[in-house]
Amino acid sequence: MKFTHEHTDGKARACLLETGRGVIHTPSFMPVGTIGTVKAMSPDELKEMGAEIILCNTYHLYLRPGHEIIKSLGGIHTFMNWDRPVLTDSGGFQVYSLSALRKIEDDGVHFKSHLDGSMHFLGPKEAMEIQQALGSDIAMVLDDCTPYPSTHEYAFTSLYRTVRWAEQCKELQREGQALFGIVQGGLFEDLRRKSAEELIRIGFDGYAAGGLSVGEPKDDMHRMISFTAPLLPEDKPRYLMGIGDLGDVLKAVETGFDMFDCVMPTRNARNGTLFTSRGRISIKREEFKADPGPLDPECQCYTCLNFSRGYLRHLFLSKEILSMRLNTIHNLFFYLQFFENMRKSIQEGNFTEFGTRWKPILT
């Protein structure tokens, strides 16, 4: 995996991440394909709208259908018919946020499946085995997500657990799969610094910030984003995990983050909330009943080029599958366009103007 800076504008970076399965232009947005499908989308549609990499969830795929089945069906790319890069998370965050019960021990986590209540164990060895069976292009180390709020003492213990697990994951890394470390440390700057130092000592192909957007105030989140970015190596990709509110993304790109994932565009689409160049709209509103115009007159997506707000409202109220499809196409296209234009603004030295123009629309 090769990472090249193309342009910088302040601390914001436009880079190229070259993988065996294609180039990723950063800042990059990764649509979330939880269980091996970006909800409501076909792989062809994702390509058409310009998605260069997607994220799949190790936790979900481990539970269903199981990584061994995916391996026997040719790995995650063949399984879902997606030949571009895939990043898999380690499962750590889902165990933290989804499982009915979890018991953290030094060598891993015992947890209860949110699907059927069965008990499972996930340690660094398991996380690597699963991700290797899936065959993702970028794997993540197993991390212990520090809850909010946490005491300094708890965050410290949790952080060192993540560091030890990261070390073990690194030892198990195999040729052909990149591995990213994950900075933890809660809201404590000294711990975030320590975490970054330890991970850099171990040495990874990229560095992520985890444990944010877990309930903390926005100001604290922004503070930690700004604080963490410069701790991470300049010559490696920096990935801000799970954060996709575009206002937060602007903030993070400004500080030097490169990669993002979030369910926001896809989940909102299914709930009828659509992103437009004039702000969010809820498609179910009465005023759109007989509106012949497109969702967003400035948008060139399949939905906006072919269907009226009146039709989209009707599909949404009727709970039609096509509603979820067309809304998802629009929101993902909007996100990917936003990232492309943000990248352009960095290349042209206009990133600040780009942010200034978008901030009032995004809030």
Given the rule CB under 8 A, which residues bind its own copies? 35-37, 39-43, 64-65, 69, 72-74, 79-81, 289-290, 292, 302, 306-308, 310-311, 313-315, 317-318, 320-322, 324-326
Tokens of 155: 């965050």
CB of 320 to its own copies, least distance (A): 5
Question: Which entry of 9, 258, 261, 296 is annotated as an active-site residue?
Answer: 261
Nearer residue to its own copies within complex by CB, 47 or 222: 47
* DSSP conformational letter for 229: G
Tell which residue, 173, 181, 331, has the closest CA to residue 241.
181
Q: Is the peptide bond before 27 cis (omega within 30 degrees of 0)?
A: yes
Tokens of 237: 């990709």
Cβ atoms of residues 73 and 79 within 8 Å: yes
Nearer residue to its own copies within complex by CB, 81 or 352: 81
CB of 145 to its own copies, least distance (A): 24
Tell which residue, 240, 136, 123, 239, has the closest CA to residue 178.
136
Q: Is 44 a catalytic residue?
A: no
Question: Which entry of 89, 144, 248, 296 is annotated as an active-site residue?
Answer: 89
Q: How far apart are CA 35 and CA 134, in angstroms?
A: 12
Radius of gyration of the chain (CA): 20
Tokens of 132: 């290797």
Q: Please, what's the b/e burial string for 287-300 (b: 16 or more CB within 10 A of its CB; e: otherwise)? A: ebeebeebbbeebe
What are 17's strand-pairing partners?
3, 24
Please give the angle made by the CA atoms of 216, 12 and 136, to the nearest 5 degrees.
75
CB atoms within 10 A of CB 125: 17
Look at residue 56 and give its three-state secondary structure: strand
Tokens of 151: 């005491």
* DSSP conformational letter for 32: B
Tokens of 53: 């990499």
CB of 117 to its own copies, least distance (A): 17
Q: How far apart are CA 99 and CA 124, in angstroms?
A: 18
What are 140's strand-pairing partners?
180
CB of 33 to its own copies, least distance (A): 10
Q: Is 144 a catalytic residue?
A: no
CB of 270 to its own copies, least distance (A): 8
CB of 292 to its own copies, least distance (A): 6
CB of 316 to its own copies, least distance (A): 11
What are 87's strand-pairing partners?
55, 138
Tell which residue, 41, 37, 43, has the closest CA to residue 321.
41
> Which residues are known to be catalytic?
89, 261
